[in-house]
Amino acid sequence: MHMMVLGVSLAFMALIAVTFILVARARPPRSDANRSEARRRQLIWAMVIFGVVVSVASLARWPHAVSAAPTEVVNVTGTQWYWEIDRTEVPQGVPVLFSAKTTDVTHGFGVVDEKGRILFQAQVIPGYENKVEYNFDEPGIYKVICLEFCGVAHHEMVNEFIVAAR
């Protein structure tokens, strides 16, 4: 997903940038007000239709959905500047519910795989129980990092857990 996001972004960014460069360098000047307005309408409709399609597709399955009766639950507590995790091991291939709380400020509960890719995250807001669910495809050692600036040792707030093969 990460590299696809980068690729799609760079493609659209390049499209806009090249359009500006071509128009700025175009000679001789050309203008047709009626044609321009028709193209503007086409552009607006194209953007609306594209937006509706992408929005429906990306929201059809709610990205923050959690199971009503989860079997695997991990309680996580963030404190300046460490994570406490009540389990060191979770199973591969089943939904795992992480219930994250904080004892002080807002933290960002982020889980990173062995390749260093962020898999998911949740803001850990004081006074709230913040629940996020994930199904691990691969066994291995996963890191927990802080993804919300929380003070002077924010970058040192690291812990880990194991996803055991089934």
Partner 1 sequence: MTAESDFGTVAAMRGVQERRDGAVRLAMLLGGTVFVLMMLLGLVMRLAQGGLVEIDAALFYRIMTAHGAGMVGTATLTGATILWFFTNRHVPLLAGVFWAFLGLFLLGVVFILAAIFVGGYGGAWTFLYPLPAMSGGFWQPSAAALFLLGYVSIGVGFLLLHLEVARKLIAAYGGIGGALAWPLAFGRGRPEDAPPAGVVAAMASTIFNVLGIVVGAAVLVASIVNLLVPGFTVDALLAKNMIYFFGHVFINAAIYMGVIAVYEIIPEYTGRPWKTTRAFAIAWTVIMLFTLSVYPHHLMQDLAMPAWTLVMGQLVSYFSGIPLIAVTAFSLLVYIRGADMRWDLASALLVLGVAGWSVGTVPAIIDGMIVVNKVMHNTQWVPGHFHTYLLLGEVAMAFGFMAWLTRAPAAQERPGAARLTGADRLLFLTYAVGGTGFVLVFLVAGALSVPRRWAVHATQWMPLAQAASVFAALVILAVTVFVLRYLSGLIRQRS
Position 141, amino acid = I
**For residues 32 and 89, which CB has a smaller minimum distance to partner 1 in the complex?**
32
**Distance separating alpha carbons of residues 62 and 121, to the nearest angstrom:** 15
State yes or no: residue 68 binds partner 1 (CB under 8 A).
no
**Distance separating alpha carbons of residues 16 and 153, to the nearest angstrom:** 40
Q: Euclidean distance between the first and final Cα of the chain, in Å?
A: 25
Among 47, 141, 164, 165, binds partner 1 (CB under 8 A): 47
Written as six digits, the tokens of 23 are 């128009």
Nearest to 76 by CA among 143, 7, 152, 155: 143
Among 77, 105, 160, 162, binds partner 1 (CB under 8 A): 105
Q: Which residues bind partner 1 (CB under 8 A)?
A: 1-3, 5-6, 8-10, 12-13, 16-17, 19-20, 23-24, 26, 29-31, 36, 39-40, 43-44, 47-48, 51, 54-55, 58-59, 62-64, 80-81, 104-106, 108, 110, 112, 116-123, 125-128, 130-132, 145, 147-156
